[in-house]
Amino acid sequence: MTTTARSETSFTSTLPGRYYYDPAIYELEQERIFSQMWVCVGRAAAISTVGAYQTVSIGRESILIVRNRESKLNAFLNVCRHRGSRLCIGEAGQLKGSIQCR
């Protein structure tokens, strides 16, 4: 009968601790995941009526998701093109017309 010693890593079931707090790992996640890939931000049914919107943060960006007049969902950067002001402040709401910068 042969016995082999188990390494410490064979008992590891999670990432090493530094993956949870290392700023360099955080920067890599922002660069390679949140700014490059699709991110699920919620369920379409949560924005059910025309003009309803939600804002979500993805990485360092605020994203505005709106149900348009054709009842389709659109997502935009939540900033105006003139000076980058935030367009919608709250987490969710109902637009009465077009999106306007304050």
Residues that bind ligand FES (CB under 6 A): 80, 82-83, 85, 101
The distance of closest approach from Cβ of residue 100 to ligand FES in the complex, given in angstroms and rounded to an integer, is 8
Decide whether 50 or 99 has the Cβ nearer to ligand FES.
Answer: 99
Q: Smaller CB distance to ligand FES: residue 6 or 82?
A: 82
Q: What are the C-alpha distances in Å from 32 to residues 5, 38, 40, 77, 80?
A: 37, 11, 16, 19, 26
CB of 63 to ligand FES, least distance (A): 17
The residue whose two tokens read 């410490």 is 8
The candidate with the shortest Cα–Cα distance to 94, out of 55, 49, 45, is 49
Shortest separation between residue 78's beta carbon and ligand FES, angstroms = 12
